Amino acid sequence: MPIRNVKTLGDPQLFKPTVAVTEYGSAVADDIQDMVDTMRDNKGVGLAANQIGIDKRIIIIEVNNNPRYPKQADIPLMVLINPEYHVIGDEKETFWEGCLSLPGLRGEVTRAVNISYQANDHLGNSFSTQANGFLARVIQHECDHLDGILLHQRLNDLKKFSYEKNL
Ligand code: ZN
């Protein structure tokens, strides 16, 4: 399966909300494989389908000794289709977040520490569970992508937006 180009800031598709998935299995298998190959090739920890031009509500997440986030514990590959989350409590955390669609940039974004979320797997089976910390952050970031929102739209302070090399 091909590694695809990641769409970057300025591409209108990144601002367009994605469409719910209704067919599973072979209907999404190639999309998911392309997403995994592209995320790994770009050293991402998450990817939303519209970042590679697929207009579907699919996100993937994986942390495996990632050089862009060296302090983060590993997270096995997760595929979330039609994901939804709810914030638990009011604890929030700020972090210099990156995005494959904003290459070389980081922005300090405040997000909820604890969430519950539900999604379907690649076969359409629904599941629900909770997440906290970095995983909760990545889920919130990727769900934003599905709604056409990029991290710079979440900045509290425009001065906290920087090239990685200057941090
Ligand atoms: Zn992103």
| Residue tagged active-site, from 23, 84, 142, 164 | 142
C-alpha to C-alpha distance for 101 and 89, rounded to whole angstroms: 30
C-alpha to C-alpha distance for 152 and 8, rounded to whole angstroms: 13
pLDDT bucket at 1, cuts 50 / 70 / 90: low
C-alpha to C-alpha distance for 49 and 145, rounded to whole angstroms: 9
Inter-CA distances, 144 with 111, 119, 138, Å: 12, 15, 10
Give residue 39's pLDDT.
Answer: 98
For the segment 149-166, the average pLDDT, to the nearest whole number, is: 96
Does the annotation mark 142 as catalytic?
yes
CA of 152 to the centre of ligand 1 (A): 10
Give residue 117's pLDDT.
Answer: 98
User: How is residue 107 written in tokens?
Assistant: 């922005």
CA of 70 to the centre of ligand 1 (A): 17
Contact yes or no for 142/48 (Cβ under 8 A):
yes
Contact yes or no for 17/149 (Cβ under 8 A):
no
Give the alpha-carbon dihedral of 31, 87, 10, 30, to 10 degrees. 0
- The pLDDT tens digits for 95-137 are 999 999 999 999 999 999 999 999 999 999 999 999 999 999 9
Torsion sign over Cα 162, 57, 94, 68: negative
Give residue 55's pLDDT.
Answer: 98
Which DSSP symbol is given to 133?
Answer: H
CATH placement of domain 12-162: 3.90.45.10
- The pLDDT tens digits for 39-82 are 999 999 999 999 999 999 999 999 999 999 999 999 999 999 99
CA of 54 to the centre of ligand 1 (A): 14
- The domains of the chain are located at 12-162
- Residue 139 confidence (pLDDT) above 90: yes
User: How is residue 89 written in tokens?
Assistant: 């409590």
CA of 148 to the centre of ligand 1 (A): 10
For the segment 25-45, the average pLDDT, to the nearest whole number, is: 98
